Amino acid sequence: MKLTCDRYVHCNGNSRCGTSLKGELEVTFHHGKTKHDIFSESSEQIKPLTKEEKEQKVMEMREKIRVAMARKQEKEEQEANEKERKRRLDGRATADMLERRRELEMKQAAEQRRRDKQEATEAKKRILEEIKRDREAFKDGQKSPASNVVPTQKPAPVKNTSSNTDHCNLQIRLPNGTTMKEKFKSTETLAAVRVWIEVNRQDPEEFHYPFALMVPFPHQTFTEDDMEKPLNALGNLFLMPHITLSSTNRFSGLVPSACLVVARAKSF
């Protein structure tokens, strides 16, 4: 519909509307606001505005623009504040999650260390109890009466092998030069010797580094697999009744041929 500039336009889109509009600009604005699309041109002519009415219209338009701009700015600020609030909540949730995960990992690590320590303590306790039982059995064997024999019958001479294999006396030389002595049954394991050294050594703490056991001559280094073997299964050296066990970091001078050495271990 072509509109003239000097006549009113009535909105017929709704029976209750009937709004009178001036010009194409007001029609377009009304359509965008109400979605009404049926208009008819009125026979009533538009009266020209006076100077005061024009100034009033300008003030009204400026006020509408100001209100619209203020509402738009307020809406943008509210959206920005909401985005910032969500960002902070998301950041706090992420930080809380990371903190909970770190605490859980610390608890798990502490629990693992506690279990490892408990297992090591129980293993050491079992070995000490085994050493104690072996020693008591050895002492009981020494105190038991000799077997009944015929007084007039002289036994045939035999090699004194049992005295050499029943036990061995270890002399332990620690890194600071001090020595320790102990008697072990030949059936006791090398791990029992190791535990006895760890429990009874009195040298300064600075020398308490992880150590390995070896025989310098002929050279033989014992591994973890050897720890569970009895002494009489580790070679002819342990069949001797007296052995020097030396705990040193470096060798100097002559080392006895029957010498078990405790030395710093690289990964033991």
- pLDDT tens sequence across 164-209: 457 777 777 777 878 888 888 888 888 888 888 888 888 888 887 7
DSSP 8-state code for residue 120: H
What is the pLDDT, as a whole number, of residue 74? 94
Which residues neighbour 26 within 8 Å (Cβ) at sequence distance 6 or greater?
9
If you average pLDDT over residues 130-148, what whole number do you get?
A: 73
Alpha-carbon gap, residue 119 to 108, rounded angstroms: 16
Alpha-carbon gap, residue 72 to 79, rounded angstroms: 11
Alpha-carbon gap, residue 252 to 258, rounded angstroms: 16
Which pairs count as long-range contacts for 152-159, CB under 8 Å and 24+ apart, including other chains?
A: none
By the 10 Å C-beta count (0-12 exposed, 13-18 middle, 19+ buried), 32 is classed as exposed
Would you place residue 104 in the very low, low, confident or very high pLDDT band (cuts 50, 70, 90)? Answer: very high
Domains of the chain, residue spans: 7-48, 49-139, 166-264
Alpha-carbon gap, residue 10 to 20, rounded angstroms: 5
Which residues neighbour 230 within 8 Å (Cβ) at sequence distance 6 or greater?
186, 187, 188, 189, 190
Residue 72: count of CB within 10 angstroms of its CB: 10
Alpha-carbon gap, residue 96 to 103, rounded angstroms: 10
Would you place residue 72 in the very low, low, confident or very high pLDDT band (cuts 50, 70, 90)? Answer: very high
By the 10 Å C-beta count (0-12 exposed, 13-18 middle, 19+ buried), 163 is classed as exposed
SS3 label, residue 251: coil
Instruction: At 78, list the tokens.
Output: 């509210």
Alpha-carbon gap, residue 248 to 260, rounded angstroms: 10
- pLDDT tens sequence across 6-18: 555 656 656 567 6
Pick the CATH number of 166-264 from 3.90.1150.10, 1.20.120.80, 3.10.20.90, 1.10.4100.10: 3.10.20.90
Residue among 186, 231, 236, 187 nearest 213 (CA): 231
Beta strands at 20-22 and 7-11: parallel, antiparallel or unpaired: antiparallel
Would you place residue 161 in the very low, low, confident or very high pLDDT band (cuts 50, 70, 90)? Answer: very low
What is the pLDDT, as a whole number, of residue 252? 35
Amino acid at 192: A
> Does the pTM of the predicted model rise above 0.75?
no
- pLDDT tens sequence across 224-261: 888 888 888 876 556 555 555 555 444 333 333 345 66
